[in-house]
Structure 1
Amino acid sequence: MEIEEKIKEDVKRSIETKKKDAISPSLVNKWLFSFAPQLQGKMHISIMLACFGESLKFTSYFFAAYVATAVISNHIDLQKIYLYGGLTLLALALQCTLTCLSSVKSHRISFEILRSIREKLSEKLERVPLGYVTSTPIGYYKALIVDRVGSLEDWIAHVMPELPSRLLHPILATILLFVVDYRLGLACFVSVPFIILGFIIMYHNSDERMYTWLNSNQDLNARIVEYVNGIHVIKTFGQSRRSYQKFTDSVNYYFSSTLDWWKQSWIAMAILFAFVNSPILGTLPVGLYLYSQQIINMWQLMLGLILPLSIIPNAFQIMMSMEIYSSIETGFRMIRKVLTMPELVRPNQEVTLSDQCYRFENVSFSYEKGIEVLHDINFEVKPNSVFAIVGESGSGKSTIAKLMAGFFDANAGRIYFGDQDVKSIPTSQLMKHVAYVAQDNFLFDTSIRENLKIAKADATDEE
């Protein structure tokens, strides 16, 4: 299947790129704030608010342990319960306030950064070679600017401020368990080796399946946009069966790639969920033994059971953060790839053209590094003459035409028009003299006449 082969090639390149260009969460954070460095201080405030709010949660655990101890031992002091309960409610109200303030601040930061990234991408696409823009499906741009940039929101608005507080919670809980009794502190690590095993199984050789899923998702987005937007043209020219087959192939491959990824993860997820949900696997038997030996009292036993259980929501949030990072890694590479593309630099000042002659001198060109499409091409096209370029499919005929129209810059050699290097001719001036129509040309939703006049708005009917 054509789609499957194309995606496999994309996946192979993605894995090779990942090996050559390793990234880390700190690098991603640094890159994100390069779009809005003035917001970095505000994010630090958001993190501190979230951490302080998280630490206030522990008042409820102490209160729950106190009430449980009072009920079990049948020594209920309502006055103390009301006092401790009131203080706990006050602490939790403050915790909610701080968490909300942190979330509001981080979301505002997120929206500012995403806006800046989208603006940079839009500005960049105006300056990259036109050939790159026309050869890329419109669905790719939608996936890039809307979906991939949008996927960064969870990382900025939630993971950045909340992950430090989520990590702080189990650290504080473990410290408190060691303070209560070091054996309880050690017992809470019983499930950790099994959790690590689950992660090892989940992420072992997962790159290929993950990139296959991401690329198939991207391909499906592109096919949907193209198929829906072009349905009236497809019907008009009787291409519905062929176009629908491509769309169906994309859907089927997305389904199979999703299933393959989850098949690898099922066992690992089962292990992770089982042991992450069992934090008292060690503290329950150890705590009961210590209590039976009168080494710890009932309140300490209750803390030994409640504190590990309080880690569960934070453990899932930490796991979710890792999953979010895996998903944004590809988006990060896609966005950075576009933003670092070489630009098509052209002057604004028009130049004087001596004639309408085209001349190629030792021109070489490659779309991808190391794979030459044209090598050492030389020819001249004189005015008022007919010049045909004949060759097999994929031999570079369209590439020559695109170079003549200024869609790309040659990697080597020079291209002249009117005795001027095309690199020194403004794009708008070159477009006045060159009419380029491709076999797969993109048309705007208007008349053919209006499409033709885009290159030259004041063109007469005769022209």
Structure 2
Amino acid sequence: MPRRNTYKEDEILEEPFDIKHLLRASGYIKKHAGKMGAALFFSALGGAAALVSPMIVQRALDIAVPNQDKDMLFRLVIAATVFYIVSVIMTTIRSHIMVNVSQDIIYQIRGDLFEHLQKLPFQYYDDRPHGKILVRVVNYVNSVSDMLSNGLINVILEIINLVFIIVFMFAVDVKLSLVVLAGVPFLMVFMFWIKNKQRKAWQAVSNKNSNLNAYLQENIVGARITQIFAREDENADIFKTLSSNCRKTWMKAVSYSTMVWPGIDTISVLVRAAIFMFALLVFSRGNESLGVIVAISSYASRFWQPIMNLGNIFNNFINNMAYLERIFETMDEPVTIDDAPDAKPIGKLVGEVTFENVSFSYEKGKEVLHDVSFSVKPGESVALVGPTGAGKSTIVSLISRFYDVQSGRILIDGQDISKVTLNSLRSQMGIMLQDSFIFSGTIGDNIRYGKLDATEAEIRRASKAVCADDFIKFMPKRYNTEVKERGALLSQGQKQLISFARTLLSDPAILVLDEATSSIDVQTEKALQKGLDAMLEGRTSFIIAHRLSTITKCDKIMYIDKGGITECGSHEELMAKKGDYYHLYTAQIDGMEVG
């Protein structure tokens, strides 16, 4: 199935405002309504305290200084200091509260998002770059949480602050206040022009950073392949292009951002010039006091800041609505493989597996399996062979219900697996994939991954059974040796042996081995065979192996091709038939002899 998006393609973040996203996000805000209300209260007190200062300066210039009233001047200085301290304390308390609220919102959104990602089917991860999933979980959540906490609070605060400034300003002088307000239309025209360009520019920055993140994540995972094929120069060129795009969009966005303050400052300077001109030349021809002029000029300087802040908040709000839509889009991604409403635990498995007219496709119109039917008795070992892409891995994935069939049904112990709980089914299945994934942590932690209550003795016993103990006992701290992400510094064969031990420890009723011995050398595989025999004994098992010599003892061999089972029988029966399996087996044996 084609990816919905790659590192070469921008995510479309130009979203129209949709109130449903904001209403949905309000659920995270309501949990902190009390704290946010307190923060708003402290901010209002701090803002009001800060706005008293110009009035104190006015009284000092108009009364205390002309009258040389030192006592009054001292009292005014003390008052200004007190109001300043009150403003700082209130603002600090507010900041402390909102930091906690913001982090709580991040924690809750990210937790909900991660929990949902854990449930999404394999198809979701097949269809999109993992780097762009990470951007949503990390970058977008960080940005959105700030909008939901500080953003909404700041809108209210800036409006209150603006109202306070206007009230204090009019209390000092009505006519000069009107002069200040006359500059608002010019500011609004400028802000409307710059903010539209600024918003688009920062959305472009987000797109290019997302692309870079997707490519970087892909190349970190595939670093070994890059070096194997000597692709360093080509990849460096691609990264350079992506990084250059980030730089160009960033510089463009910053160029618009750096225009905001000079533009507002220019309007502010012109307004203050108008204040002096009108105060000295127009209104009462110079009868306005110096204190009034200074106080109004001070309020005029403060007046533009809330307006600019509201513009920034609006710009940030529009961007974050797009991010919020992406987060909820991920949360709304359907969990197509989930428990049915009436699902029940499957109970202890015996291991009988039946396919009844099963058809399946990854893409519409391209069937991988068509009308497949077979039955496997409890304890039987079944090998699946056939050409690449014939559907062998698909069959075992369907048994584990990693995908749902399009038609037909799969029964285990007579129960339709689509009607039982996933946990009760998968907890009794041991699945060994070709890619043996190792988590960061100790070797022991990796082995007990599927059985957290396993004792040290059980871990060692499972490891010895699959020959993993043979190399673990030589590790620096044996089972307590730390392994890095994806099992770095371990050979592929060692990782597969650890995975074998992990699977055996879980004591599954049904065992699936998908090319599980592909990275183990022949000598180790022979030593492992005894452990595998013990592992397969009494368990229904499905084995996909490219070395056909390893599956000759299986009870049943099914040749998969052209969407179905073309041959089925024991090794001897299929060799006597001289069909597809016979030709595949003899070709492989002849090739080994020639080699």
Query: Which residues in structure 2 correspond to 1:144-155 (within 5 Å)?
Result: 144-155=136-147
| Secondary structure in 2 matching 1:35 | helix
Superposed CA offset, 1:190-240 (max 9, x none): 332232222322344766644332121122123334434553553355443
Which range is displaced more, 132-141 or 100-109? 132-141
2:127 and 2:197 mapped to 1: Cα distance?
Answer: 32
Superposed CA offset, 1:136-166 (max 9, x none): 4443344333322222453355334344222
The letter for the 2-side match of 1:444 is R
Contact conserved, 1:109 with 1:157, CA < 8 A, in 2?
A: yes
2:216 and 2:125 mapped to 1: Cα distance?
Answer: 19
**1:379 corresponds to:** 371
Contact conserved, 1:11 with 1:211, CA < 8 A, in 2?
A: no
Query: Which residues in structure 2 correspond to 1:6-405 (within 5 Å)?
Result: 6=6, 10-12=10-12, 14-15=13-14, 18-19=15-16, 22-23=18-19, 28=22, 31-35=24-28, 37-69=30-62, 74-133=66-125, 135-156=127-148, 158-204=150-196, 209-228=201-220, 230-232=222-224, 234-236=226-228, 238-262=230-254, 271-275=263-267, 279-290=271-282, 292-293=284-285, 296-343=288-335, 344-346=337-339, 349-350=345-346, 354-355=352-353, 357=355, 359-361=357-359, 372=364, 374=366, 378-380=370-372, 382=374, 384=383, 386=385, 388=387
Change in CA separation of 1:75 and 1:215 when aligned onto 2, cut-off 3 Å:
same
| Secondary structure in 1 matching 2:90 | helix
1:37 and 1:208 mapped to 2: Cα distance?
Answer: 31
In angstroms, what is the RMSD of aligned CA positions? 4.1
Contact conserved, 2:151 with 2:313, CA < 8 A, in 1?
A: yes
Change in CA separation of 1:421 and 1:216 when aligned onto 2, cut-off 3 Å:
farther
Contact conserved, 2:176 with 2:275, CA < 8 A, in 1?
A: yes
2:365 and 2:240 mapped to 1: Cα distance?
Answer: 32
The letter for the 2-side match of 1:448 is Q
2:293 and 2:31 mapped to 1: Cα distance?
Answer: 48
Deviation, 1:423, is 3.0
Deviation, 1:311, is 2.6
Change in CA separation of 1:377 and 1:134 when aligned onto 2, cut-off 3 Å:
closer
1:298 and 1:209 mapped to 2: Cα distance?
Answer: 44
Higher helix share: 1
Which range is displaced more, 444-453 or 165-174? 444-453
Change in CA separation of 1:92 and 1:206 when aligned onto 2, cut-off 3 Å:
closer
TM-score of the aligned structures, taking structure 2 as reference length: 0.62
| Secondary structure in 2 matching 1:341 | coil
| Secondary structure in 1 matching 2:324 | helix
**1:369 corresponds to:** none
2:423 and 2:238 mapped to 1: Cα distance?
Answer: 35
More RCO (CA 8 Å, sep 6+):
1
Superposed CA offset, 1:44-100 (max 9, x none): 1110110121011122111122233358x7433111111122122222222222222
Contact conserved, 2:430 with 2:503, CA < 8 A, in 1?
A: no
Contact conserved, 2:122 with 2:402, CA < 8 A, in 1?
A: yes
Contact conserved, 1:102 with 1:161, CA < 8 A, in 2?
A: no
Contact conserved, 1:360 with 1:377, CA < 8 A, in 2?
A: yes
Q: Report how many residues are paired.
A: 441
Identity among equivalent pairs (%): 14
2:319 and 2:175 mapped to 1: Cα distance?
Answer: 39
2:330 and 2:149 mapped to 1: Cα distance?
Answer: 24
| Secondary structure in 2 matching 1:202 | helix
Q: 2:447 matched to 1:444? A: no
2:418 pairs with one of 420, 423, 429: 423
In structure 1, stretches of 5+ residues that fail to align are 367-371
2:253 and 2:161 mapped to 1: Cα distance?
Answer: 31
2:110 and 2:394 mapped to 1: Cα distance?
Answer: 30
Change in CA separation of 1:146 and 1:308 when aligned onto 2, cut-off 3 Å:
same
In structure 2, stretches of 5+ residues that fail to align are 375-381, 440-484, 508-530, 536-595
